[in-house]
Structure 1
Amino acid sequence: MNKIEELIEQLCPNGVVFKDIETLINNKSVSTITPPRKLTKNFYQTIGAIPIIDQGQDFIIGYTDNEEVIIDKGLYVIFGDHTEVFKYVDFPFAQGADGIKIIKTNPSVIVSKFLYYALNSYYIKTGKYTRHFSFLKKTFIPIPPLAIQQEIVSILDKFTTLAVNLKDELQARTRQYEYYRNELFNFEGKEAQWETMGEIGTFIRGRRFVKDDITTEGVPCIHYGEMYTHYKIWAKKAKSFLEPTLAAKLRVAHPGDVVIVAAGETIEDIGNGVAWLGESDIVIHDACFTYSHSLNPKYVSYYLQTNLFRSQIKKYISSGKISSINAPGLSKARIPIPPMEEQERIVGILDKFNTLVNDISVGLPAEIQARRNQYEYYRGKLLDFKSISNG
C-alpha cells in the first residue's frame, strides 16, 4: 500500500466530497482577484523585472518594469477565459491584456497547486474562442483532506520537473544542432568548390492547385502549406494526393530533387526545403520550386537551413502580406560543393542531431511525449476519488 492509499484509508475510506467551482467561490474556499491594471501588448518588453502573464500558450509573454501593475507574490491558478489555458504562478507578476481569471484558494481548504492539477484533469475544454469562466464554475472537483492534496501535488510535481528538464535539454540540443549545422557548412580553408545554385542546378516552379483538390489517394503531391506543418529535411512518402487527371496538368519533382518553398507570411518562412526521396515523382504547388541537381539531396536540404544561405537570399525576397522569392533570386545563392564523400559525412552527422531534436518516435520529443502521457495517466489515477454526498 503506497502513502496515498494509506492516507485515504485513514482519512476518507468512504470517499470524498466533490464540489463545483461556483460553490467553492460562494463559500470562500476559492476567490478571484482583480489586478491593479492590465497591460496591453504595446507595453510588453523583452526584458524587465516583472514577468507578464496572459492567456496565451507561452507561460511568460513578456516583461515590464512598471511597479504600479504588479500583483504581489502568492499562489495563483491562472485561467485563460478565451483559450482555456491553465497556469500556476507563485511569483509576483503583471496581467497582460484581457481574458484571464486569477484564482486564489483558502489554504485551509484547498492547496492552490492541487486546484491547478484538479482543474487540468476535470475541466472539459470546449475548444471554442469564447468566454469560458461560466463553464469553469460548473466544473466539479474532488476535495480530499489537505494531507492527501499535498501528497498528490508532491508526486505530480516530480513528473512536471522531469518534463521541464527534458524540454530544457531539447532546447540545448537544438541550439547545439543549429551551431553544428552552420559550422559544418563553413568550408573556409577546406576542400570545397563554390558555385551558385543556378550554375549547378535548375529551378522549376510548380503549378497551382488548391486544398479542395487534395484527396486521400491518387498521385502524390506537396501543397506549400505542408512545407511548414508537415515536411522537414527529407521525405519518402506524401501526405496528400491529387486526382490523376488534374495531376497530369501540373509539374513534378523527381526523386532526388529538393522542393523549396517560395512564399510565406514572413521572410523567415522562405527558402526551406525538403529532399524528395520517394520512389516516384511528386506534384508540387505553385508556391514551391523543384530544384534538380547532382548533389546529395539531404546535403542541399540541410544547407537551406543555414545562416549562410538565408543571409544570401534575404535581399531577393519581396515582402508584403505574403513574402516571396523567384527563381533568379534563389539561383544567385552560392553553395559549397565538397566531394560527395564529405557531403555524405555532413549529412550523417546532421541526421543524428535531427533525429535527436525532431523525431517524434525516437528522439527527445518522443521522450517528452512519453513523460507527458505518463504524467496525464498518473494525474488521472491520483485524482480519481470515490464520491460521497455533500452530507
Structure 2
Amino acid sequence: MSSVHDLIAKLCPSGVCFKRLGDVARIKNGKDHKSLADGEYPVYGSGGIMRYANSYAYDKPSVLIPRKGSLDNLFFVDTPFWNVDTIFYTEIDESQIRPKFFYYFLQTVGLGEMNQAGGVPSQTQSALNEIKIPVPPIQIQAEIVRILDAMTAHTAELTAELTARKKQYNYYRDKLLSFEDGEVEWKTLGDIGDVKMCKRILKNETQSEGDVPFYKIGTFGKKADAFISNEVYQAYKSKYSFPNKGDILISASGTIGRTVVYDGHPAYFQDSNIIWISNNEKIVSNKYLWHFYKIAKWFVSSGGTIDRLYNDNIRKTLIPVPYPSDPAKSLVEQARVVSILDKLDKLTSSITEGLPREIELRQKQYAYYRDLLLSFPKPPTI
C-alpha cells in the first residue's frame, strides 16, 4: 500500500481535492417497470435485482443508491439496467472520477446514518449531493480500484468455493444416507427413543437477567433474552425431562427442524416448541441423528396460527438405520458416515475454521484496506 501513498504524495503535494457529490455525478430517479415485458436487462430495486425486462433506463457504468430501505446496500452496475423508484442511479462524470472509485468511496460514507425519515429509512438527493468526495488524479484512482478489485475478486472466489462445497456436502449427505436394500431398515424415530421436552416455565418465573438462560423458539440457537433462577433450574432439571449433553434439540414450531446440539452448559428450553429424542445411542448415535435431521421429511401440521411439529408426527418420522440386525456393525457404519459428513460440514459451516471463517477474515481485511486507501486528508475548509 505504500506505493499508493507514495503516488499520492508525488501527484498531490498540496493534498487531494474534495468536491461535492453533485459536482461529479448526477443523481437520477428510477421509473415504474410494470409495463415492461420480460427480457435480458436487470431491473433493480433497493434490495437488488427484482426481475429482467426488455428495456433499460441507462447503459453506462453507474452506482445505484437506495432511496428507501437498506440505505447502505449499494450496487455497481456496468451493463444496461432499469431501476425502480426505490433506488437512484448516478450519471458519473468519468472525466473527473472513475465509477468504481466512486462506488468504493461511497461504501465508506455510512449512508445508513444519513436516514432522512423517522419510519422507513429513506434518502434524499439534496443530502446525497452534499457528500464530499475525494477526487485524486485518475492514475491514483485506477491504482486504488485495482487493489480493491483484486481483494473483492478473491473473496468472490472463496464464496463460489463455499457454494460448491455446500452442494458437495448435500450430495454426499443424501448419498451416504441412502442405503442398498438389505443394508438398512427404515425405523421410526419413536422406535429409537421417545419425544422429550422441558417442564413448562411460567412467565413469572422468568426475568430479563439471571443465572440460567431460558431459550424460547424465537431465541433458539441465538442469544437468550430471558433467564430463570438457578434454584428453578436445579429443581426442574432434577424432577422433569432434561436433555443430556450431546442430545439434538429440534425446533417444533416456527422454522421447523432447526437443530442445536446441547453442550451441557446450564440452560433451559421452552416446552413443546423445543424438543429432543431420548435416543438409545446403542442403536442410533446423536451425531448420526444430527446429520439425518437435515434431510428428515417432517410431518408438519398447518392451518393454525403457526406451523407445528406435533409429537405423534415426530415419532412417525422415518430414519434409515444401517445393518439393524448387527448393532455393532450399524454403529461402525454410522460413524463412517458421520466422519465424512462432519469434515464437509466443518468446511462449509464452521465460524471458527473452514471457508466461512476465511471469507469473514477476507471481508474484514477488505474493509480495513478500503478505508485506509480512501482516507484522504481533507482541506481545513471542509
| Cα pair 1:253 1:284 within 8 Å, conserved | no
| Cα pair 1:78 1:103 within 8 Å, conserved | yes
> 2:326 corresponds to which residue?
none
> 2:252 corresponds to which residue?
262
1:320 & 1:284 partners in 2: Cα distance?
Answer: 19
User: Is 1:225 paired with 2:218?
Assistant: yes
| Cα pair 2:205 2:228 within 8 Å, conserved | no
1:80 & 1:186 partners in 2: Cα distance?
Answer: 47
- Residues 274 and 374 (structure 1), Cα distance of their counterparts in 2 relative to 1, 3 Å cut: same
- Residues 362 and 326 (structure 1), Cα distance of their counterparts in 2 relative to 1, 3 Å cut: same
**In the TM superposition, what are the counterparts of 1:240-319 in structure 2 within 5 Å?**
241-247=227-233, 248=235, 252-264=242-254, 269-278=255-264, 282-294=268-280, 295-306=284-295, 309-310=296-297, 313-314=298-299, 316-319=300-303
The SS at the match of 1:324 is: coil
**In the TM superposition, what are the counterparts of 1:154-193 in structure 2 within 5 Å?**
154-189=146-181, 191-193=183-185
- Residues 384 and 77 (structure 1), Cα distance of their counterparts in 2 relative to 1, 3 Å cut: same
Instruction: Give the letter for the 1:188 counterpart.
Output: E
The SS at the match of 2:375 is: coil
**Structure 1, residues 202-232: CA drift from partner, whole Å, max 9, x if none?**
11244356699365552354322233657xx
> 1:233 corresponds to which residue?
none
| Cα pair 1:192 1:336 within 8 Å, conserved | yes
> 2:11 corresponds to which residue?
11
| Cα pair 1:19 1:140 within 8 Å, conserved | yes
> 1:333 corresponds to which residue?
317
The SS at the match of 1:290 is: strand
2:57 & 2:183 partners in 1: Cα distance?
Answer: 60
- Residues 219 and 76 (structure 1), Cα distance of their counterparts in 2 relative to 1, 3 Å cut: same
The SS at the match of 2:88 is: strand
User: Is 1:88 paired with 2:76?
Assistant: yes
| Cα pair 2:114 2:123 within 8 Å, conserved | no
Shift of 1:262: 0.8
The SS at the match of 1:323 is: coil
Shift of 1:374: 1.0
> 1:200 corresponds to which residue?
192
Select between 6-15 and 201-210 the one with higher mean Cα deviation: 201-210
| Cα pair 1:209 1:285 within 8 Å, conserved | no
- Residues 180 and 296 (structure 1), Cα distance of their counterparts in 2 relative to 1, 3 Å cut: same
- Residues 102 and 65 (structure 1), Cα distance of their counterparts in 2 relative to 1, 3 Å cut: closer
> 2:97 corresponds to which residue?
110
| Cα pair 1:17 1:390 within 8 Å, conserved | no
> 1:234 corresponds to which residue?
none
User: Is 1:324 paired with 2:314?
Assistant: no
**In the TM superposition, what are the counterparts of 1:27-38 in structure 2 within 5 Å?**
27=23, 29-35=24-30, 37-38=31-32
| Cα pair 1:14 1:386 within 8 Å, conserved | no
Select between 204-213 and 371-380 the one with higher mean Cα deviation: 204-213
| Cα pair 1:49 1:65 within 8 Å, conserved | yes
Shift of 1:74: 1.1
Instruction: Give the letter for the 1:87 counterpart.
Output: F
Shift of 1:239: 9.3
Instruction: Give the letter for the 1:305 counterpart.
Output: K
Instruction: Give the letter for the 2:74 counterpart.
Output: F
Count of aligned residue pairs for this structure pair: 360
- Residues 341 and 221 (structure 1), Cα distance of their counterparts in 2 relative to 1, 3 Å cut: farther
| Cα pair 2:43 2:53 within 8 Å, conserved | no
**Structure 1, residues 127-162: CA drift from partner, whole Å, max 9, x if none?**
964212354344322111111111111111111111
> 1:73 corresponds to which residue?
59
TM, length-normalised to structure 2? 0.84
Q: Percent identity?
A: 31
Instruction: Give the letter for the 1:255 counterpart.
Output: K
- Residues 213 and 113 (structure 1), Cα distance of their counterparts in 2 relative to 1, 3 Å cut: farther
> 2:362 corresponds to which residue?
371
1:223 & 1:139 partners in 2: Cα distance?
Answer: 44
Runs (5+) with no aligned partner, structure 1: 231-237
The SS at the match of 1:144 is: coil
RMSD: 3.0
The SS at the match of 2:113 is: coil
Shift of 1:257: 2.6
The SS at the match of 2:179 is: coil
The SS at the match of 2:276 is: strand
Shift of 1:390: 6.9
- Residues 355 and 44 (structure 1), Cα distance of their counterparts in 2 relative to 1, 3 Å cut: farther
Shift of 1:39: 3.1
The SS at the match of 1:160 is: helix
The SS at the match of 2:183 is: coil
In the alignment, which of 379, 384, 387 is matched to residue 375 of structure 2?
A: 384
**Structure 1, residues 254-310: CA drift from partner, whole Å, max 9, x if none?**
32432111111xxxx21232232426674344312121111211211110101xx22
1:362 & 1:145 partners in 2: Cα distance?
Answer: 41
Instruction: Give the letter for the 1:147 counterpart.
Output: Q
2:269 & 2:6 partners in 1: Cα distance?
Answer: 63
1:345 & 1:203 partners in 2: Cα distance?
Answer: 26
1:223 & 1:15 partners in 2: Cα distance?
Answer: 56
Runs (5+) with no aligned partner, structure 2: 323-329
> 1:355 corresponds to which residue?
346
